[in-house]
Amino acid sequence: MLAEDAAPPFEALDIDLDLAPLPAMKAAGTANFDFSGLLSQPLRLHEDLANGCGGQTWPAGFVLGKHMLRYHHSDLQDARILELGAGGGLVGLAVARGCTIGHPLYVTDQIEMFDLMGKNIGLNGLEAKVKAAILNWGDALSQEIIDFKPNVILAADCVYFEPAFPLLLATMTDLLALCPSATIYFCFKKRRRADMHFLKKAQKKFNVVELVDEDRPVFSREGLFLFGITAKAQASQSQKVTP
Ligand SMILES: C[S@@+](CC[C@H](N)C(=O)[O-])C[C@H]1O[C@@H](n2cnc3c(N)ncnc32)[C@H](O)[C@@H]1O
């Protein structure tokens, strides 16, 4: 829910956590994920770090996935959904399985994750509902994505590597220019002070609103933040994008 009034105070910048550990490295394997029971049929996901950190699931992905399943279960019929930095596809696949969607959604990442995204789409029989695509932050959007014109964008744990911050901001800018009414559902875990620089820059460029979520007291204690990000000009309209 994008609700400035009802949302808890925006306090991400107050956190003085200097360094929180990255998730423990998992051995390659396949496991089931049901998002705390929100998916009646669990997702089956293969995780493998051989081709990069996106090969395993990260904490913000579970928070964002649960948020979408709980609050957007039935309002995404007309949404054109695209996930950035999807890794193995945790969030996008959860939405495809557990939410009512009217269009196939895109899970996107760098080429190193392409095979894993495809494998996980297949493991869950979601070929008709999910497409994998390469989307390198900072690159011009492909014609396929321009034609799709996403209006719901998902991004979980994409703030973790400082040199990529300007690239991610550039892609978010491009997507919000392509579809000015789009909302980016953005979840990240603050691990380093530099992560807050990303947030400050995002606040300058976009309308950034903390989302209401019943799990917030739990995930905020772990340094996780969940935002709805819209184009500045859409600030007044963002209140309408509520679950
Ligand atoms: C920490 S992982 C998060 C994966 C997944 N969203 C989750 O929550 O489990 C970050 C993802 O961002 C992707 N990524 C990093 N830099 C990128 C770039 N420049 N362009 C596109 N994707 C990038 C990585 O490949 C990785 O899959």
Q: Which atom of ligand 1 is nearest to the CA of 54?
A: 27
149 domain-assigned? yes
pLDDT at 20: 54
20 domain residue, yes or no: no
Q: Is residue 109 part of a domain?
A: yes
Cβ–ligand 1 distance for 160 under 6 Å, the answer: yes
Which residue in this structure is represented by tokens 């609700």?
3
Residues of the chain falling short of pLDDT 50: 1-19, 236-243
Strands across the sheet containing 206-210:
130-134, 105-109, 81-84, 152-156, 183-189, 224-231, 206-210
Pocket test for ligand 1, best of 26, 111, 158, 174 (most atoms within 8 A of CB): 158
Does ligand 1 have an atom closer than 6 angstroms to the CB of 158?
A: yes
Q: Is 87 annotated as a binding residue?
A: yes
Q: Is residue 10 part of a domain?
A: no
In a domain, 138, yes or no: yes
CB 29 within 8 A of CB 23: no
Task: Return the structure tokens found at 76.
Answer: 């995404």
Q: Is 122 known to sit in a ligand binding site? A: no
* Domain-embedded: residue 45: no
Residue 97: exposed, middle, or buried by beta-carbon count in 10 A (0-12, 13-18, 19+)? buried
Task: Check pocket membership of 186 for ligand 1, CB cut-off 6 A.
Answer: no
**What is the number of domains present in the chain?**
1
- Give the position of tokens 């894993």: 116
Classify residue 187: in a domain, yes or no.
yes
Amino acid at the residue 200: K
Domain assignment present for 211: yes
The per-residue pLDDT for 193 is 86
**Residue 99 alpha carbon to ligand 1 centre in Å:** 23
Which protein residue has the closest C-alpha to ligand 1 atom 19?
A: 137
Q: Are 88 and 126 contacting, i.e. CB atoms less than 8 angstroms apart?
A: no
CATH number at residue 123: 3.40.50.150
93 Cβ contact partners less than 8 Å away, ≥ 6 residues apart: 43, 45, 107, 120, 121, 124, 126, 130
**Per-residue pLDDT at 21:** 57
What pLDDT score was predicted for residue 15?
38
Domain hosting 203: range is: 52-240
